[in-house]
Structure 1
Amino acid sequence: MPELRIDPLSGLRVIVAAERSERPGARSEVAEREAIDPEGDPFREGHEDRTPPEVWALRPGGGEPDSPGWTVRAVPNLYPALEPGAPNGSDPLDSGRGDPELFAVRPASGAHEVVVNTPESVSSLHHLGPEGLDLAMRGWRERMRAHDGAAYVHVIVNEGREAGASLPHSHSQLYALPFVPSSVARERERFTAYRDRTQGRNLLADVLQEEVRRRERLVAVDPEAVAICPFASRGPFHVQIVPRTPVARFEDEGPT
């Protein structure tokens, strides 16, 4: 029977109707990805002249910017969703006098970067192995810290055309936003309210403890983190990775 579930972290309501997975055409199939042509790969090591000038790179052996020898590299997005500039923090609905500005437009200021996860022509994070993934995450953290003055910094990994990636080489995208997304603000409010109501307890830690106790949606457990399918998953294959020791910010030092 379909269920209406409430996400304990965000408060969003989700309808879970497992029976609909049996309807015709419900199961999606993803074709095997073709191998990347190294010569046509602008993110491959040795092709640094095919990207905008780098803003950061991890070079264990040193070297000049925009040269080979890097393991992780960050460049401005060639087609940015955000442009550099000071954000306009005014509220268009708080004009003080007269009618509010109902159809408000402000410059989309901030930063939009591409973090190239590896110098090799591979299409997925799982090709990097644990050491390569650790280096990629180090790059994400470095670039997040570089934009610590932004209202919110978000990193995404979209692999394959199905996820909107325009280039097959494994890469991440960083958005330094001039605002806090409403979904994040909502979660922050719920965490604060839960802490006040329970005399200091952590909402995510309590959710994780209950998930481990029930063992209904556990995917994997290791000494540092637990992977679960959230109680109110918003789509198939939704997996949430929760640190076993609470960490305030992803970019803080600690296990990856």
Structure 2
Amino acid sequence: MTELRYNPLLRDWTMVASNRHKRPNLPKDNCPFCPGSGKVPDDYDVLTYDNDFPALSPNPPQPDDVATELYRVEPAYGKCEVILYSKEHTTTLPELPVAHIRKLVDLWTDRFRHLASNPRHKYVLIFENRGPEVGVTMPHPHGQIYAYPYVPQKLRVELESFAAHREETGRCLMCDINREEVAFGQRMLEETEHFYAYIPFFTDYPYGAFISSKRHVGSLLEFTDDERTDLARILKRVTSGMDALFDREFPYMMVLHQSPVNAQKPVDFHFHIEFYPPLQTATRLKYLASSETGAWAPCNPMAVEATAPQLREAIQKRKEANRHVDPLA
């Protein structure tokens, strides 16, 4: 059973997807994403794969007959796709050459364009869950895309903040955040021709990096050819540095924040990527406890002015090593 249930306390929707408990959990053989499985081509670079256990689908079943005037339900309309990073079962994002990651950026862009063309879709979220620490059930490196029939609450709050800041100052909120981080400097991680990477002043994760475009654009669709390649480059640098930080595969949630689609009026937004990595140390995790979950009151257990220099040093060290094998890195 899949459906959407409205939460009147938060004015947001909860996706109910009872089919997802059937997902395989870290299978050591019979990977459906590997060539030879019969599920994917025998050879591919990057690939779109319809999620076998979607929370949203183009032809959803009718919801259960439990709705009332207060408790609304809707069919779980939308689309859930898996984005396979490569045919190699153990090659993760930071291990891919920049030219290969550029193919991933192009696929993200193509899928964003395609999913945005459906007027019933209102937000297209591209993301990756990496590592069992954040609940990954399939070890083959991949990301996902959800096309929602509504704008999820966190993104809605961001959009409202952008609009309020524009009205109050006449400026873009993310452009101002970029300027603040560049001016302070201590939280900066990396800078390329078209992007900044930093751990922002306000993040609730010790190593919660942001990647933000320098140019004020709302989505992948607006990037030039050079910007797409540069996005691939800074993605490799930041994620490689994360792996180098504790000399282990670094778990994270990575989410691309972009303009909503099919909005009724023009929307002011600025493309950026947010990382939510749970590690405090090589072996210690940051958990979300009662205050954070129940009150949405974030608490960062470490000052980012202390953690950013550590990650910056790891990025620089790994960048120099990568350049010996990948000239675009």
Give the TM-score normalised by structure 2: 0.54
Amino acid at match of 2:142: H
Are the aligned partners of 1:123 and 1:159 in contact in 2 as well (CA < 8 Å)?
no
Change in CA separation of 1:238 and 1:138 when aligned onto 2, cut-off 3 Å = same
Q: For 1:104-183, what aligned pairs fall within 5 Å after superposition?
A: 104-148=72-116, 149=118, 150-183=121-154
Q: Deviations over 1:100-119 (max 9, x none)?
A: 72222211110001111111
Asked if residue 205 in structure 1 is aligned to residue 175 in structure 2, the reply is: yes
- Report what 1:67 is aligned to: 41
Say which of 72, 78, 91 aligns to 2:52.
78
| SS of match in other structure, 2:147 | strand
| SS of match in other structure, 1:138 | helix
- Report what 1:60 is aligned to: none
| SS of match in other structure, 2:139 | coil
Alpha-carbon distance between aligned partners in 2 of 1:236 and 1:198, rounded to the nearest angstrom: 30
Change in CA separation of 1:220 and 1:253 when aligned onto 2, cut-off 3 Å = closer
Q: Deviations over 1:41-90 (max 9, x none)?
A: 3212343x1x3xxxxxxxxxxxxxx533421111111111112148x9xx
> 1:250: Cα distance to partner?
2.5
> 1:253: Cα distance to partner?
3.4
Structure of higher CA gyration radius: 1
Are the aligned partners of 1:111 and 1:175 in contact in 2 as well (CA < 8 Å)?
yes
Alpha-carbon distance between aligned partners in 2 of 1:84 and 1:151, rounded to the nearest angstrom: 14
Asked if residue 236 in structure 1 is aligned to residue 206 in structure 2, the reply is: yes
Are the aligned partners of 1:220 and 1:226 in contact in 2 as well (CA < 8 Å)?
yes
- Report what 1:191 is aligned to: 162
> 1:123: Cα distance to partner?
4.5
Amino acid at match of 2:97: G
Are the aligned partners of 1:116 and 1:170 in contact in 2 as well (CA < 8 Å)?
yes
Identical amino acids, percent of aligned pairs:
30
- Report what 2:10 is aligned to: none
- Report what 1:41 is aligned to: 31
The runs of 5 or more residues in structure 2 that have no matched partner are 1-26, 63-67, 232-329
Q: For 1:19-30, what aligned pairs fall within 5 Å after superposition?
A: none
- Report what 1:222 is aligned to: 192
Are the aligned partners of 1:225 and 1:242 in contact in 2 as well (CA < 8 Å)?
yes
Q: Deviations over 1:133-183 (max 9, x none)?
A: 111121111111111031000011112211221111111111000000111
Alpha-carbon distance between aligned partners in 2 of 1:123 and 1:79, rounded to the nearest angstrom: 24
Alpha-carbon distance between aligned partners in 1 of 2:127 and 2:69, rounded to the nearest angstrom: 32
Change in CA separation of 1:124 and 1:69 when aligned onto 2, cut-off 3 Å = closer
After TM superposition, the runs of 4+ consecutive aligned structure 1 residues lying more than 4 A away are none
> How large is the Cα RMSD of the aligned pairs?
2.4
Amino acid at match of 2:30: G
Are the aligned partners of 1:158 and 1:164 in contact in 2 as well (CA < 8 Å)?
yes
Alpha-carbon distance between aligned partners in 2 of 1:68 and 1:156, rounded to the nearest angstrom: 25
Are the aligned partners of 1:123 and 1:168 in contact in 2 as well (CA < 8 Å)?
no
Amino acid at match of 1:156: F
The runs of 5 or more residues in structure 1 that have no matched partner are 1-35, 52-65, 89-99
Q: For 1:79-98, what aligned pairs fall within 5 Å after superposition?
A: 79-85=53-59
Structure number with the higher helix fraction is 2
